[in-house]
Structure 1
Amino acid sequence: MRWRVPLGFTTALLWLCLPTASTGAEDYPLFLRESWRIQTSILAKESGDKISRPDFRADGWYTAAVPTTVLNALVRNAVYPDPCVGMNNMRIPDASDEFNREYGLAKFSHLPGGRNPWADPWWFRKAFTLQEGLQEKRLWLTFEGINYRAEIWLNGRKIAGSHEVVGMFGRWTFDITGIAVAGGENVVAVEIFPLDFPGLPAEPQLKAFGPFGLNGGPTGDIGKNVTMHCSVGWDWIPAVRDRNMGIWQDVKISATGPVDIRDVQVVTDLPLPDISAADIRIKADLINFSDAVQEGVLSLRLRPRALGQKEAAFITKTVRLGSRETLGIAFSSEDYPELRVRNPVLWWPNGLGRPDLYEAEIGFEVGGHISKAERISFGIREVSSRADKVNNWDRRLFFVNGIKVPVRGAAWVPDMMLNHSPERLRSELRLWKEANLNLVRIWGGGTTPRAEFFDLCDEMGLLVWHDFWITGDCQGTWDKGSQDYPYDTRAFLSSAAAVVKKLRNHPSLLVWTAGNEGYPREEIYRPLRDDILAGLDGTRPFIPSSGYRTPPEGWGLSWPDNKAAGTYSGGPYYWVEPKEYYRLVDGGKDWLFKNEVGLPSVPVLESLKEFLPLEPDPEVKFPLNNVWGYHDACEDNGKYSLYDSAIRRRYGEPRDLADYALKAQLVNAESYRAVFEAVNQAAERTAGVILWKGNPAWPSVSWQIYDWYLRPNAGYYFAKRACEPLHIQLNIVDGNVWAINSTRQDRMNLEAQIRLYDRAFRKIREFAAAASVPALSSREVQVGKPGGVLPEGNGFVSLHLRDKEKLLSDNFYWLSRDGDFSFLASLAQADLKVSARREVRDGHLVVRLRLKNNGSGPAFFVALRMGNKEGSEFLPSFWSDNYLSLLPGESRDITWSADDERSPGEVLQLKWEGWNVSRQVVNID
């Protein structure tokens, strides 16, 4: 350990041990979240200087908790119905008067005369008290996200106008020293203005199997704003009636001394392929907000977050700042050898290693008091990208710490009304991680999520692909919208700069793209690429578009290699025969790196009951009704009719809704497994695959592996299995068996066990074969039989991959030459026994289960649910496996856990049933 302590060692060490001991502001930052009041300016006619005074009476205003949109708050106050249920969204007026006239929605307005509730500004008001002891501090008011424009008032004083505060993705900090009252009551009032251009929604999906409207509406005008494009409606989300106007991210008060620390950047350099040492560089701005010269001690400490790891570095130096001076400071290993970290613990993406993190603590002390202290979490890792050619087609490769990452991911889209609590985000991203995915794509028509999202991705090893707020649907890619959108260049670029500064230290952030299937005009594109991304970040690649469009020559392509994007969207977004994915992967450039592929994905029965009426409609195929159409059972991109036909043709006409939902799970399972396994097999050729999408924006029947209630469908578990680190799989086209190794370690001398059964589940053949798979590769298992192991006609194939007695992977296929699985109906009832043992692990209740098939046939497609003793299911639930099949006499160990803490003595209720397994319910004491 080397130390450089030129001055102030004792006081600096005190600060590092007790970072708030001398601040006088132990409770800061103060987040302003609860007890807001909101009201439309139509009814609250007073001016901001009056509304923002403590003596103003907000009688009749609605209560709200921030972050929130206006519509979200009004739904919580029962002014409008929950738009996620049934057809309720068609009982709420829209921001577009033209749309309201067309569909008769004005009559649902809560305002006098049916006035459009979203056409005028809304007031957000919050009273709060600042503690004593802050009189000598500088006070700051920060808004992390407002949609769309705002005027901001504090204690009768206007501190920002709507020409300054504009754009959904901006971040604003205001000096409120001398305006805010320490030890007394304060009031902040924010007048939120609607979008400049609310856009016209597309024709709503009022019939099942009907057409989808145009994504982004018929004109694409929503793209004129710097906002969430999909709020006007897409083919997986209806129009959000208020376009999500509101305060959609945190509001906070912070306190500093005369000198503040801003824009800290931590950069890690690895001399690859050598990873035995890492150089750390840290940059920041010191800003003296006082008129006096300030001299103090700048302190820096680095330490791993992992328990038992040694401290990496501790440095102090004296700094002098002139009146109102901004000083850029830098620490590097050239000046401070302590910043060369020996044998660092590296950050790795999910499946390639642990996502180990470090913390940098940086502070400035003046006169024995901390003026500002900041803690930054970061990972020691290096990301890079390279474009190459395959058959003269462009392919984009990504690397972490010099290792090529086999990207397995899904797109993430925001909740319809931006209901994203930290707890929900943790649950969603845990679902991502436990599905063995390693990437989350932030889609360009949605939002940049709140800070907790990226913290969680750091902790879980989930790489993030970040599109900026551009979509081809609004950008003229498909003759709709315009390349001139968005209009406000300053708002876009200032928002982009704020986002880059906020996110650039996150090790999970892999790549920036200029937009989804498009890019902005040159006045935005070039400064975004060259000044903001290369200049303010410069540590990760940039690609010009997720797919379809390439900027004109001279604008610059990807950074830093100036090559084509090499990634491709384009689906398919509809059901195809699972075998087709193998042909697609083998046959064209799109699958060299496929960043959008998916299909309709009906949730399980329990979720369908939450948002759809259960009565069938005689005008629609049994057992559906037209409300299914509003929840995305439509044609065009998703072609729901193909998916519905696959359910009926492959598994038989449904007896009822429960049977339909069960058979849909079989289609989900087949399809999502095939997507990933087709790419697995072509590991040498393909660089990655990203689902469209992983999650829904609202209760939907399309494009998801878990639903809005956080219940995974069967496709989730079959994707999880296909993406496991060591995997055995069957090529369902040619019958060959493959072993997949997605880890950094070679796995040699394994054994593949293969069993074939006919349609009546009579064993045809059983044998074993050797399997050795180098790291990050796929290898065919030599089965010694021409034509592989496909049974003649219909039947089953069971695969197990073992290392001696240890089971590494298993897979079970039901197969039909002509896609007719009616033979499954003749499977004999299975005798499945389940035993359970409960324990507490890391403060959370865990249940370990052993399943044993005591019958003479398979226990096929067994689904398990865990709930309380009244039968209410715990959501989300995390199963190590589900929708599984067991051979006769086979046992399987699985686990269940939940995110929330549960009493160790709580009685649990376990339910299970399968295709040929009767429903059973047992209590677990």
Structure 2
Amino acid sequence: MRFWTSSTVSCMLLFAFLKLPAQEKYELNSGWQCRNVEGVKATGQQISVPGYALTGWTPATVPGTVLTTLLNNKQVPDPLYGMNNEKIPDIYHTGREHYTYWFVKDFTENAPAGDAQIWLHFRGVNDGCDIFLNGHRLTKDTHYGAYLRQVYNITPWLAKNGQNRLAAIVYPPQFPGNPNGGQGGDGTIAKNVGPQYTAGWDWIQPMRDRNTGIWDKVTIERTGAVRIKDPHVITRVPGVRQAQGPQSPAIVQVAAGLENATAKSITGTLRYKIGGETVTKQVTLAPHSTTTVHMPDLTLKQPALWWPAGYGEQHLYSLQLEFLNKGKADDKQDVEVGIREIQTYWNNHTRSREVAVNGQKIFIKGGNWITSDAMFRFSKERYDAEVRFHRDMNLNLIRIWGGSLTERPEFFEACDKYGLLVFQDFWISGDCNGRWQDPQKKDDQWTRRQYPDNHALFLESVADQVKLIRNYPSLAFWCGGNEITPPADIFAAMKDTIIPSLDGTRYFFDYSNSDSMSYNSIGGNGDGPYGIQPIAHFWNERTFPFNSEVGSVGTGDYESLARFLPAENLVPPDPQTGKTDAVWNYHKYIPYNNAIDPYGKTSDLREWANKAQLVNYDQYRALMEGFSAHMWDWYTGVIIWKTQNPWTALRGQMYDYYLDPNACLYGTRKGAAPLHVMYNPTDGMVMAVNNTFRYARDLMLELKTYDMQGHDSLLTQLFVEAGPATVQKFMPVKPMLDKLSAQQGVFFVLRLLNTHQQVVDENIYWLPDANGNYSGLQQLATANVSVKAVKAGNDSIRVTISNPAGGPVAFFNRISLVDAQHQQRILPVFYDDNYVSVLPGEQKTITITGAAISAAPGAEIEVYGHNVKRQYIHF
């Protein structure tokens, strides 16, 4: 496998960034040194003097955790592979000193002239730290809080010769918790204000250092006397809008904090520009003060609006904000703005929350997200790839689960770009914070209900993070926590004071499955079900009307499994008992139960994993179709648990940790298509869902079957239509299908064709025989397809699979871009469809895109299917 990580692209981008003239901000992201606290006897004041010798220190990864640094220095094995994580000492057993480290960075920055100022920013340190510069302590008291940003005016402490040294000692969370196998271990990880999953969960093993480290960016910023702080942009879009055509005006409201770092009063002008318009306001700032300035409202004519994916374009404006002091800019900030307004209503019919954007109701199709990487190894490129995968699944929302973090600005930039609304939980979970009685928890429910220990720090962190991400148009909702509210005093302050005063434009859900989101009239916890379900269950079993967590399996194929399972563990679950070995269990395998058996039992892992992809596709297509079939009747939305893994787990993912998609992604993509024809397997009803704002008229509905030999039978065709945001039922066909599939099963092909006879939507089901087995698939003859691939651009390839007439359906073909030398997949790249079936006498073209294509000369295309032999095609 060739995995194009962020490093190459980041270096190129950083080089270009560094060459910009009059650079005002730059990252301290290389050249760090570190050492465990036990090997350092000097004080922070001594270490931070540039002349102090760093003998015995090792290169450090910043941003990054201690465990990342140890891994990069080959001092620990890769915790994502096999059971290597068991070989790494856990902080609960070693004590906190084992992961307490000093970090040092030398950098060049001259003391500025006049009233100019130099600022040091830490965007995230877990959990505590003391910071020193050139022999001076910057932190008055030890800083705590994994999420809380830090800013220091370092102007007085810069060295006269411009050669400076920054030193920080980073302390692990005070309560790392016992990783005893419980959700969040023994639960005491939640006594901190930080991520809870690091003590382990049912989809991840514990992170041995609990993600201690300078895990987010460290930045130097140059300004004049006045610094712009936490600008706030609100857009108002009154009325009901269309995604195309002329627009009525929208309102832009801007405010910003201005910090005067000098001992004198300053009068100047705050100014911003957007869409060719300029707004100014003269202000006077008192010495050593911070003032929030509210600008006059701007009426923006003919605005280009931002819409969620599937409903319209994601137009973005650059708002250029600056403070002018005597005609010169003291500080500038560019804010990316999407002109949109999000509304919510209570749907009395479904008894759940309904979402609207720009006045148009949106059926929520969402995915649950933990974090991009379990060890906090973040990059703009990885965020972009993961969010793009969610867009490619035809989803329109990502929920950030509460046991993790407030996602980074780079994540929100990707969501803005691809049109994914974001549902942001705060850092509370029902498991650790006392919703349920749990013998694995150290403290009782009453005690856990008051976690974290420092309520003031939690609230300070909430306020800070709201300011960090409130301007992103993709951010749609705040949520008090996962499956439970925070303690009463925290909850009241968040809901009644902090969120209204610092944002005031987004709905606040009390907790992720609260009645304010989805009224629970059927009992249970308001989530689920999880794991393998009978296909009919998704269609016919009514669940919560806006389900925040419902999902199934997610094991990858053989190539995916081989990346993190040792060779001796590359064996499938026992075909008789379903049991797996210790390594599969360690990586949190969810049993497929008997779902693979109808395709035929096997003891070969490659064959087993390919059959698992059939199950994956069917499960997630049915999930999305079942919820869509009851849109606005039973449901106003659904959020899949879960759509990604930050670790090498064997469950709940549409692509693996290495960004290799599996059939879950394409089953979801198919079932969640905006305009989609589908089949209810229970009552046999053929229907279409139109999840757009446009009226779908003059569509030909074509229903065909193909037997295992490739003979087709036209059941019917008729012109149909479907109004915006509706589900349209057409006809039941179950008696015909039951008869045709009784002996060997059958392929059922549903198509919508436009007036040019072009396929608007195609949906191919493989139906079992009368005994519920796929006996015909087990005997399917080989399809002799031909495959062609052509380069369509520097980052684009078109692959065409042609299946000659007179043979069987070329069923369930996986297309991959691979390295020609080793025939390993190049990741990440993006397929506009995959696991495709090609009917006899037809062809399909799949487009592959992604930056990795241009960086992979000599690559080739790999194609194989259920009855298509593996082949490699040069292009």
Counterparts of 1:918 and 1:41 in 2: how far apart (Å)? 58
Counterparts of 1:618 and 1:757 in 2: how far apart (Å)? 34
Amino acid at match of 2:406: T
2:102 corresponding residue in structure 1: 123
2:286 corresponding residue in structure 1: 322
SS in 2 for 1:501: helix
Partners of 2:342 and 2:476 within 8 A in 1: yes
Counterparts of 2:519 and 2:746 in 1: how far apart (Å)? 51
Question: Of the candidates 620, 625, 631, which is equivalent to residue 587 of structure 2?
Answer: 631
Shift of 1:520: 0.9
Q: How does 1:743-762 map to 2 (within 5 A)?
A: 743-758=692-707, 761-762=710-711
2:316 corresponding residue in structure 1: 357
Amino acid at match of 1:857: P
1:595 correspondence with 2:548: yes
Q: Which moved more, 1:154-163 or 1:714-723?
A: 154-163
2:92 corresponding residue in structure 1: 96
Amino acid at match of 1:331: M
SS in 2 for 1:496: helix
**Structure 1 pair 625/63, CA: closer, same or farther in 2 (3 Å)?**
same
Amino acid at match of 2:182: L
Shift of 1:162: 5.0
SS in 1 for 2:118: strand
Question: Of the candidates 857, 880, 883, which is equivalent to residue 832 of structure 2?
Answer: 880
SS in 2 for 1:900: helix
Q: How does 1:286-305 map to 2 (within 5 A)?
A: 286-303=258-275
SS in 2 for 1:178: helix
**Structure 1 pair 627/607, CA: closer, same or farther in 2 (3 Å)?**
same
Counterparts of 1:81 and 1:849 in 2: how far apart (Å)? 39
| Root-mean-square deviation (Å) | 2.4
Counterparts of 1:472 and 1:29 in 2: how far apart (Å)? 40
1:21 corresponding residue in structure 2: none
1:79 correspondence with 2:38: no
1:742 corresponding residue in structure 2: 691
1:383 correspondence with 2:362: no
In the TM superposition, what whole-angstrom CA distance separates every residue of 1:780-826 from its partner, at most 9, and x where no partner exists? 1246x575755442322011111122211111111125431132111
Question: Of the candidates 574, 577, 599, which is equivalent to residue 651 of structure 1?
Answer: 599
**Structure 1 pair 718/331, CA: closer, same or farther in 2 (3 Å)?**
same
Counterparts of 1:617 and 1:401 in 2: how far apart (Å)? 51
SS in 2 for 1:96: helix
1:150 corresponding residue in structure 2: 129
Q: Which moved more, 1:134-143 or 1:169-178?
A: 134-143
1:677 correspondence with 2:618: no
In the TM superposition, what whole-angstrom CA distance separates every residue of 1:419-466 from its partner, at most 9, and x where no partner exists? 221111111111111121111111000111221111111111111010
1:346 correspondence with 2:297: no
1:488 correspondence with 2:488: no
Q: Which runs of 5+ in 1 are unaligned?
A: 1-23, 98-114, 203-212, 304-310, 334-338, 551-556, 634-639
Q: How does 1:209-288 map to 2 (within 5 A)?
A: 213-217=181-185, 219-273=186-240, 276-288=248-260
Shift of 1:183: 5.1
SS in 1 for 2:567: coil
Shift of 1:154: 0.8
In the TM superposition, what whole-angstrom CA distance separates every residue of 1:267-326 from its partner, at most 9, and x where no partner exists? 1112223651111111112222211121223222112xxxxxxx2x11334332232343
**Structure 1 pair 903/498, CA: closer, same or farther in 2 (3 Å)?**
closer
Partners of 1:267 and 1:282 within 8 A in 2: yes
Shift of 1:903: 5.7
1:411 correspondence with 2:368: yes
Amino acid at match of 1:849: V
Counterparts of 1:619 and 1:907 in 2: how far apart (Å)? 33
**Structure 1 pair 620/851, CA: closer, same or farther in 2 (3 Å)?**
closer
Shift of 1:862: 0.7
4+ aligned runs moved over 6 Å, structure 1 = 561-564, 617-620
Q: Which moved more, 1:729-738 or 1:877-886?
A: 729-738
Shift of 1:522: 1.1
**Structure 1 pair 475/872, CA: closer, same or farther in 2 (3 Å)?**
same
1:522 corresponding residue in structure 2: 488
1:38 correspondence with 2:34: yes
**Structure 1 pair 615/851, CA: closer, same or farther in 2 (3 Å)?**
same
1:824 correspondence with 2:777: yes
Partners of 1:568 and 1:595 within 8 A in 2: no
For these two proteins, the number of residue pairs brought into alignment is: 831
Shift of 1:134: 5.3
2:613 corresponding residue in structure 1: 665
Partners of 1:287 and 1:327 within 8 A in 2: yes
Counterparts of 1:796 and 1:169 in 2: how far apart (Å)? 52
In the TM superposition, what whole-angstrom CA distance separates every residue of 1:123-164 from its partner, at most 9, and x where no partner exists? 11111001575564211111100100111111111111554x
**Structure 1 pair 903/620, CA: closer, same or farther in 2 (3 Å)?**
closer
Counterparts of 1:162 and 1:604 in 2: how far apart (Å)? 51
**Structure 1 pair 792/604, CA: closer, same or farther in 2 (3 Å)?**
closer
Counterparts of 1:661 and 1:187 in 2: how far apart (Å)? 53
Amino acid at match of 2:825: E
Partners of 1:546 and 1:569 within 8 A in 2: no
Partners of 1:412 and 1:693 within 8 A in 2: yes
Amino acid at match of 1:746: Y
Shift of 1:116: 4.5
Counterparts of 2:296 and 2:158 in 1: how far apart (Å)? 39
SS in 1 for 2:375: coil
Q: TM-score, normalised by structure 1?
A: 0.86
**Structure 1 pair 788/161, CA: closer, same or farther in 2 (3 Å)?**
farther
1:902 correspondence with 2:854: yes
Identity %: 34
Amino acid at match of 1:332: P
Counterparts of 1:177 and 1:477 in 2: how far apart (Å)? 48
Shift of 1:916: 0.5
Shift of 1:907: 2.6
Q: Which runs of 5+ in 2 are unaligned?
A: 1-19, 242-246, 439-444
1:178 correspondence with 2:131: no
Shift of 1:619: 12
1:605 corresponding residue in structure 2: 558
1:503 corresponding residue in structure 2: 469
Amino acid at match of 1:195: P
**Structure 1 pair 120/745, CA: closer, same or farther in 2 (3 Å)?**
closer
SS in 2 for 1:862: strand
SS in 2 for 1:346: coil
Shift of 1:752: 1.1
In the TM superposition, what whole-angstrom CA distance separates every residue of 1:44-94 from its partner, at most 9, and x where no partner exists? 121100111101122222212311000111011000000000010000110
Shift of 1:327: 3.0
In the TM superposition, what whole-angstrom CA distance separates every residue of 1:495-532 from its partner, at most 9, and x where no partner exists? 11011011111100010000000111111101111111
Partners of 1:150 and 1:162 within 8 A in 2: no
